[in-house]
Amino acid sequence: MPMTEADVRWVQEPKLGFWDQIYFPAMIDGLKTTVGHLFGRKITEQYPEQEPKLPPTYRGVHRLNRDAEGRVKCVACYMCATACPAHCIDIVAAPAPPEWAGREKYPETFVIDELRCIYCGMCEEACPVDAIELTTLYDLTGLSREQMVFDKEKLLSVFDTTTKAGTDPVRTQAGRLSVASEPPPG
Residues that bind another protein (CB under 8 A): 2-5, 7-8, 15-19, 21-22, 27, 30-31, 33-35, 37-44, 46
Q: Which is nearer to another protein, 32 or 145 (CB)?
A: 32
CB of 39 to another protein, least distance (A): 8
Q: Could you say which DSSP state residue 165 is in?
A: H
Phi and psi, residue 113, nearest 5° = -85, 105
Q: Which is nearer to another protein, 24 or 140 (CB)?
A: 24
Q: Which amino acid is at 30?
A: G
First-last CA distance in the chain: 37
Q: Which is nearer to another protein, 2 or 97 (CB)?
A: 2
User: According to DSSP H, which parts of 45-112 are helical?
Assistant: 79-83
If DSSP codes are grouped into helix, strand and coil, which group holds residue 78?
A: coil
Q: Which is nearer to another protein, 36 or 185 (CB)?
A: 36
Q: Which is nearer to another protein, 23 or 153 (CB)?
A: 23
Query: Is 110 buried (19+), middle (13-18) or exposed (0-12) by CB count in 10 A?
Result: buried
CB of 55 to another protein, least distance (A): 22
Q: Which is nearer to another protein, 48 or 175 (CB)?
A: 48
Give yes or no for a contact between 69 and 129, defined as CB atoms under 8 angstroms apart.
no
Q: Could you say which DSSP state residue 72 is in?
A: B
CB of 45 to another protein, least distance (A): 9
CB of 60 to another protein, least distance (A): 26
Torsion of CA 122, 124, 127, 132, to 10 degrees: 140
CB of 31 to another protein, least distance (A): 5
CA 36 to mean position of chain CA atoms: 36
CB of 51 to another protein, least distance (A): 17
